Structure 1
Amino acid sequence: MILGDFQLTTISGGVFRIDAGTMFGVVPKVLWQRVVDVDANNLMTSATNCVLIETGEKTILIETGYGSKFSEKKRRIHGAEPGDPLVENLAAHGIGVEQVDMVILSHLHFDHAGGATQLDDQGNPRPTFPNATYVAQRLEWVNATANFPELQGAYPQDNLLPLAAAGQLQLIDGDVEIVPGIRAEVNGGHTAGHQSLFIESGGETAVFIGDICPMAAHLPPLWCMAYDVDLLQTRRAKPQLLGRIAEHGWWALFDHDPEIAAARLQRDAKRGFAVAEALPQL
């Protein structure tokens, strides 16, 4: 996608399988099964759509997928791809890990920050992108590294602590411009420090929504995930954000949709919002 002076490319950080019930929380199966397909084990396909932004001056990556550090058992459980999908897919696009200047993370769950680090020859985790600054919300980082027992499965520390140890971590506070043309807005809900990223160039805007609305199937305002730590906040923030996107004709970038990379939205009397125009995954 050409967005003003920027080139935006969806780069897969790996496809995996996930329980569909958890992806739709309290929404009855009789409703969500109309919009997603599941296998005999109730598992659905989930993408990890990372966004490569080439500004002409910097090479910036939003999200890192789940990475390459899964044990074989966890890889089987998640139905995850072998190897390091993000690194391999970037290389296929002509981008090496040393060329990435910045990595911006919407939040720090394993399927978004897992690819931020990889194991070296001695089996120790290190930053995947040696020349990049990694950007995250301070509140998200504090919660992710606090070792809360109930959050340990969501925030493996070997995804995170090596970033700080290497001096490559930049923590931001609230709604800020990260670099010219890319700004963060905190919406919470999915996690307390969850942020969406606004990419603006040449009078055009695309919004990486993040897990506030992970797939086009989640466009109904009350359709939320079981993983949301503050369901009420998600239900407040999502329609406000989607309404702005629809009103202004911005592009919405979905992080887990296996079929749609980007879409323009419109209001819909039945579902709240619907896809008006879609750019498919390549």
Structure 2
Amino acid sequence: MAAQEPRRTLDLGARRRLWVLEDGVFITDAGNLLGGSRRMRLRGAMHAALVRTEGALVLLDAGFGPEVPAPLAGHYELRRERSLPEAVRAAGSEPEEVTHVVLSHLDPDHVGWALGEGRAFPAATVYAQREALEEARRMPEKDGRRLAVPAVERGVSEGWLELLEGDGEVAPGVRVEVRSGHSAGHQISWIEGGEAAALFTADLAPAKIWLNPDLIAGVDTDPEAARRNRIEVLTEAEERGAFVILYHEPRDALVTVRRTAEGFEGVPLEG
């Protein structure tokens, strides 16, 4: 019997609907994510979330863009059958209809379509944390986060990018919450409608393996903060029965979580 297709849409009540979108997959050396010199290749997806709410169409994170930035091209191989703008169309909307783009942080695999030349979502206001920009300015010249600095500064100057300072609601029912650890100013998003809720964890817990709080990524800038925030956020998601979107999980990107002896596990939603 063929396996059921993973669930990709949610009705959250209060006139809120969510789609989990694909922007392809990347292949990279394990050492790029876990640290060290592991001779193993890892496969990760990019699953943005699109939220229809009152008077707004909100995109959470924005993939690599048309291609991997040149300084990182030797480290990541990008494969996709459908781009993020095409995925927005497949969900029934046009890229020009997106009103908000919320960037969890400034890593290049989260910002590309929002900040790249030509801006794929030209009518949208882009939101990022000021603390994320300040950290990116301090990074080495060819670091992925540093690459985003000129576009962010241009967006602020031209008025299409807003720097946030802490938690808050960016659209009806879409609330950001700063949970640092992977990076400074890293923000997760809660999508809330009535009693239902969904959680976009971004790189705080980007895939099933990272539901183990003790697994620390080699690219986390503050491992202890990442561990503490991961436990707090996933505990809240379990207690609330929230749906969780795992940005980098290749197949089962939409799950609920439950506590185990090792931390948490993701339970896929099917059909």
Q: Same fold (TM over 0.5)?
A: yes
| Contact map agreement 2:140 2:146 (CA 8 A) in 1 | no
Aligned pairs for 1:51-130 (under 5 A) are: 51-70=49-68, 75=73, 77-81=75-79, 85-118=83-116, 125-130=117-122
Name stretches of at least 5 consecutive residues in structure 1 with no aligned partner.
30-40, 119-124
SS, match of residue 88 in structure 1: helix
Name 2:190's counterpart in structure 1. Answer: 198
2:169 corresponds to 1:177: yes
1:247 and 1:191 map into 2 onto residues whose CA distance is 26
Deviation at 1:70, TM superposition (A): 3.4
> How far off its partner does 1:83 sit?
9.1
Retained in 1: the 8 A contact 2:54–2:172?
Answer: no
One-letter code of the match for 1:117? L
Cα distance between partner residues in 2 of 1:249 and 1:160:
35
What SS does structure 1 have at the residue aligned with 2:269? strand
Q: What is the Cα deviation at residue 264 of structure 1?
A: 1.0
Normalising by the residue count of structure 1, what TM-score does the alignment of the two structures yield?
0.83
- Residue 273 of structure 1 corresponds to 264
% identity of equivalent residues: 32
1:142-181 maps to which residues of 2 (within 5 A)? 142-144=134-136, 146=137, 148-149=139-140, 152-157=143-148, 159-181=151-173
Using the size of structure 2 for normalisation, the TM-score is 0.87
Q: Is the 8 A contact 1:116 1:159 kept in 2?
A: no
Distance in 2 between residues matched to 1:87 and 1:60, nearest whole Å: 13
Return the alpha-carbon distance in structure 2 between the equivalents of residues 82 and 9 of structure 1: 18
SS at match of 1:174: coil
Say which is worse superposed, 48-57 or 155-164, in terms of deviation: 155-164
Alignment deviations for residues 10-61 of structure 1 (CA, whole Å, 9 cap, x no partner): 11123111222443348x98xxxxxxxxxxx611111111001011521110
Deviates more, 1:98-107 or 1:241-250: 241-250
Instruction: State the secondary structure of the residue aligned to 2:203.
Output: helix
- Offset of 1:225 from its aligned partner? 0.9
Distance 1:20 1:225, change over 3 A: same
Deviations 1:132-159 (A, max 9, x none): 0101111112222x25326733331355
Unaligned runs of 5+ in 2: 1-9
Query: What residue identity is the alignment partner of 1:50?
Result: A
CA–CA distance in structure 2, aligned partners of residues 117 and 175 of structure 1: 22
- Aligned equivalents of 1:74, 1:82: Cα separation in 2: 17
